[in-house]
Amino acid sequence: MSIVIHLKKQDYEAMLKHCRAGLPNEACGLLGGRVDGEVKTVTKVYLLTNVDASNEHFSMDPKEQLAALKDARADGVSIIGNFHSHPESPSRPSEEDKRLAYDSSIEYLILSLQQPDNPVLRAFGIDGNKNVTAHEIDIVE
């Protein structure tokens, strides 16, 4: 199984700006879009507040989450993933990220800002047994 996530360059840039603005803390958000077999296409990025205001973990603002869910539903799309930044560590799920990954059907994107001038965005599937699989991200114009 080879899952590919299509992400528009402007959406990637919005995520990067949001994550940089959140420093030194982690930033987070949701990804709306559609799934067509192995291809997951992001059509909208929801930039949410990390209510934990921490550089090691995040919790999405519940009111903002609900608003994103309602907006996605109104647009006829699903929440197909979420993202958060790792200000000081590589782009891979931490033990806490794995423990808190409750939905094996969505994508978990992590944007590492460990090297500020070289951000690294990676996508992962995390199954019910907490096994992690790297997925491809295709950033398109």
Specify the fold of 4-140: Cytidine Deaminase; domain 2 (3.40.140)
Residue 116 is predicted with a pLDDT of 84
> Are 40 and 5 in contact, with CB atoms under 8 Å apart?
yes
DSSP state at residue 141: -
113-135 residue pLDDT tens? 999 899 999 999 999 999 999 99
71-125 residue pLDDT tens? 999 999 999 999 999 999 999 999 999 999 999 999 999 999 999 899 999 999 9
Stretch (H or E) spanning 25? none
Q: What is the pTM of this model?
A: 0.96
What does the domain layout of the chain look like in residue ranges? 4-140
Residue 1 is predicted with a pLDDT of 58
10-59 residue pLDDT tens? 999 999 999 999 999 999 999 999 999 999 999 999 999 999 999 999 99
